[in-house]
Structure 1
Amino acid sequence: MAEPVPGSAGVRRRLAFGAAVDSFGTGLLLSTSAVYFVAVIGFGVREVGLVMSVAGVAGLLGPVPVGRLADRLGLRRVYCGALLLRGAGYLGYAFVTDFRVFVVATCLLRMLDQSTPPLQQSLVGALAEGGERVRTMALVRSVRNTALSAGFLVAGLALAAHTRPAMMAMLIGNGLSFFVLAAVIASLPIPAPASIASAATAPGGSVPGGSAPAGTAADGSDRSDAGPALERSGPPLRHRRFVLLTVSNGLLLLHDSVLFVLLPVWIVTRTSLPAATVAGLLAVNTVLTVLLQLLFSRSERLTHRPGAVLLAAAGFLVAACAVFPAAAKLSGGWAVAGCAAAVALLTVGENLHAVAGWQLSFDLAPADRRTEYMAVFNLGLGLQNVVGPALMTSVVLGAGPGGWLLLATLFAGSALACRAAGTVRASLPVSQGGISHG
């Protein structure tokens, strides 16, 4: 069988298969890990939440050095190495019973987890170009969401059994998924950096195999020497409005911690519902996200008025915070319906926020330093990973209905701050890095 070439349908199919296996394993892990270490191993809820927050800090330390290592040793070698380490780590994670080992393992695994997404983005950039790169990423995202939902549903069987072997099998399954993905990455025809560089200097500046033209990075961003143009705008950390946008957007991202940290433990400790309900609710989130992505991708209005969309997102998130505690007072099928409604509201808010937050950050970032500004903006996710788990388990869960009220207030205030930071964009002259829509 002929070896697929970069940008071919065969490469896309391999990427999609690898993404599916990876996300299926992630679904197994996210549905069961918190319940496993709290309800089966016996670690305290607050202790587990604190460890997850500490691990979030550790996760910020991984991407930059791993990226530099990939530049030196090669993308394929470092990516496969990181995946093999993740696989071995999660296999061992299933057998952890000592809390100190749990702390160390969780931090190291989070560092590896946070290091691989940039490698995946570089991989797609090396294997596809232009519109093909966009279509490839869309395919990967779609497959990931579908496989994640399948992982949630399978994990529901383990949660229903509520036995240690069943839940251990979920963690082991996640570990095995990384070995499969590593095999897929090893089989891909990734262009060597040397060949890309030499091709970029060829007449016409094009790079065979889907690589970017000279002066352009593999992800399509301009990496040429911009000279004096870079001096027209300051660094992102000196841009107070952009820093405000980054921080407030990171607080809005707490909806991720609500879904993956608070919801599973809340179902087990604050409602009469069986633990298997968690997997079904996460599946609702994933399936609805796929549908919303298809809907939002066809609507240009969402990108024209990001401030209004952001306020709408906050409205849905606040409504979810009201429905969750109300559902806890119900029983049986009504409780399941109430929780499903709350998750649906959370999901709509989450997806509206994703569209509006990115658009505001794109508009506010000066054109001549946009890549640098986007990197800083993504630190908001790190903020959520640090603050979220401990906030959910120690404050929101412990305060009962008052905790949900606090969370709703935080969502509303963060949305208003995001909107205030982003709307200054229209008043900036072009010489300060301002750009117009379109």
Structure 2
Amino acid sequence: MSTTTSGDQRGFLRRLIPPTPMSKRLATNSLLFSTGEGTWMTGSAVFLTQVVGMSVPKVGLALTVVGIAEFLLAYPAGRLVDRLGPKRVWAVTTLGRAGCFVVLPFVEGFGQYVAVGLAFAVFGSAGFSAYQAYVLDVLPRKERVETQAYMYSALNVGFTLGALIGGIALAFDSLTVIRWTPGFAAGLVLVNAWWISLLPKAPHDLRVASGEARVRPSGPGPIRNVGWILVSFFGGTLWTNQVLLNVVIPLWLVDYTDAPWGLLAWLFGTNTVLCIFLPAYTSKGVRNVRDAMRYVWISTAFFVGSCLITAVTHSTEGLLTIALVWLGHVTVTGAELAISGASWAFEAELMDPRRRGEYQGVQEVSKQLGSIWAPALFTLLVVSWGGEGWLVIAGIILVATVAMGPSVALAERFRDQHFADQMDDGVPEPTPEEGYTPPVPVDPLEPA
């Protein structure tokens, strides 16, 4: 092996490791979170039907109730984050989720599971807003997109580990093992809560401690920021690449192509590997809103390409079908990676730093409205119209992308008019000469 090749490989491997102390700690948090969640999700269908004893329709109804609750709670949860501080809310809600996992083995029947599921929804809504607000608040402005890329990679590593652990639990073919699997998830979530307590307070946490955050910031909030609402809505539409990835392409493969069903495992495996190794590279070019819009168009090109490639597999045979379905899945993964970088940049550049929790809440509501219809509509289109249905899906994405441009411009004008002077640079990392000393652990229940 040549010296140049060896150096390139070392450079590639170094690029996979978060570059700063804070990015390493946040990536570790993502790994802990997703390993616990992935362990639970892998065996959740067996747990809910065989341990809790619910029928499949009741499982669907329970998950729908929980999903509606999360939707309704998103905005008030964001307001709570701004009021109490992102770190405190993040730590406390993580403890709450650990408690829910502890309770799960003792749940019996539909009603009890819905009660626990609603608790999950409360902690999940507030915890997600707090986590997002904390990351943006604590990081230097120039590191926000890059660090979130590393966190995204770590998240995928954790879900993969969780799937392996959950798969091992399922392999025992024992309901007793399945019943207590949430206990393992609870342990990881507790470690995650402890890890969060080690993180430094973000600037907004300090404002809460000083009493400054108790006074509602001047100027209009995100509900009056039509540009932000539209950016979030159309962003949700562009994120329906996940519907193609997880629902439409697998259903199309099974019912409308001659590809072997075993190919599905390779498709999801390819997506996971790419989402582990590529985010640090694909997000590197995103520095501002203009870069983010460029990545929106790149994402759309991949999305439309996936539709066009997959549409023709209804008429192909054998190895050609396999190759095209796989290529269609790879291109939709490209759409996922590109829109990820764009979304992180929009959050960093278009949200009022004094109201990040509230902005996250509005974003979640609007994003859901922009995507909640996609599984039913996209599936109906490809089932009813075949190749023409794929063209309609591509058209929907193109319309959303065209509409994103003026929406972003409107959000920029709102920012420049109402809170441009509040845009912050977060907490700078210490220089190598200064070194790095981890903060003393803090009890997440202790007043900030």
Of the candidates 384, 393, 396, which is equivalent to residue 414 of structure 1? Answer: 396
Distance in 2 (CA, whole Å) between partners of 1:14 and 1:368 is 22
Distance in 2 (CA, whole Å) between partners of 1:93 and 1:54 is 17
Of the candidates 338, 341, 344, which is equivalent to residue 352 of structure 1? Answer: 338
Which residue type is aligned with residue 182 of structure 1? Answer: A
Of the candidates 64, 69, 94, which is equivalent to residue 58 of structure 1? Answer: 69
How much does 1:160 deviate? 5.2
1:65-121 deviation per Cα after TM superposition (whole angstroms, max 9, x unaligned): 445545555555433321122112123335545123333333331332222122223
1:148 paired residue number? 159
2:281 paired residue number? 295
Distance in 2 (CA, whole Å) between partners of 1:244 and 1:90 is 36
Distance in 1 (CA, whole Å) between partners of 2:393 and 2:146 is 33
- Cα pair distance change 1:124/1:408, threshold 3 Å: same
C-alpha RMSD of matched pairs (Å): 5.3
For residue 93 of structure 2, give the secondary structure of its aligned residue in structure 1: helix
Of the candidates 89, 100, 112, which is equivalent to residue 111 of structure 2? Answer: 100
1:125-148 deviation per Cα after TM superposition (whole angstroms, max 9, x unaligned): 564444455555444333223222
2:199 paired residue number? 188
How much does 1:415 deviate? 0.8
The reply on whether 1:235 has 2:224 as its aligned counterpart is yes
* Unpaired stretches in structure 2, ≥5 consecutive residues: 1-18, 418-448
For residue 62 of structure 1, give the secondary structure of its aligned residue in structure 2: helix
User: Do 2:234 and 2:403's aligned partners in 1 also have CA atoms closer than 8 Å?
Assistant: no
How much does 1:293 deviate? 1.8
Which residue type is aligned with residue 199 of structure 2? Answer: L
- Cα pair distance change 1:336/1:93, threshold 3 Å: farther
Count of residue pairs brought into register by the alignment: 391
Distance in 1 (CA, whole Å) between partners of 2:265 and 2:184 is 16
1:383 paired residue number? 369
Percentage identity across aligned positions?
24
For residue 305 of structure 1, give the secondary structure of its aligned residue in structure 2: helix
2:303 paired residue number? 314
**Bigger Cα displacement from structure 2, 299-308 vs 107-116:** 299-308
The reply on whether 1:85 has 2:85 as its aligned counterpart is no
**Bigger Cα displacement from structure 2, 285-294 vs 89-98:** 89-98
Alignment of 1:106-185 (within 5 A): 106-124=117-135, 127-131=138-142, 136-159=147-170, 163-168=174-179, 170-185=181-196
- Cα pair distance change 1:116/1:370, threshold 3 Å: closer
Distance in 2 (CA, whole Å) between partners of 1:135 and 1:55 is 32
Which structure has more RCO (C-alpha within 8 Å, separation ≥ 6)?
2
How much does 1:179 deviate? 0.8
Which residue type is aligned with residue 105 of structure 1? Answer: V
Of the candidates 2, 16, 20, which is equivalent to residue 31 of structure 2? Answer: 20
How much does 1:369 deviate? 12
**Bigger Cα displacement from structure 2, 410-419 vs 374-383:** 374-383
Distance in 2 (CA, whole Å) between partners of 1:22 and 1:60 is 21
- Cα pair distance change 1:311/1:17, threshold 3 Å: closer
TM-score normalised by structure 2 residue count? 0.64
Which residue type is aligned with residue 256 of structure 1? Answer: Q
Distance in 1 (CA, whole Å) between partners of 2:130 and 2:351 is 25
How much does 1:428 deviate? 7.7
Distance in 1 (CA, whole Å) between partners of 2:355 and 2:137 is 21
User: Do 1:89 and 1:105's aligned partners in 2 also have CA atoms closer than 8 Å?
Assistant: yes
How much does 1:25 deviate? 1.4
User: Do 1:252 and 1:415's aligned partners in 2 also have CA atoms closer than 8 Å?
Assistant: yes
1:160-192 deviation per Cα after TM superposition (whole angstroms, max 9, x unaligned): 555534544544332322111111123334369
- Cα pair distance change 1:136/1:288, threshold 3 Å: closer
Distance in 1 (CA, whole Å) between partners of 2:271 and 2:180 is 23
How much does 1:408 deviate? 3.8
Which residue type is aligned with residue 225 of structure 2? Answer: P
How much does 1:248 deviate? 4.2
Distance in 2 (CA, whole Å) between partners of 1:71 and 1:426 is 24
Distance in 2 (CA, whole Å) between partners of 1:369 and 1:69 is 13
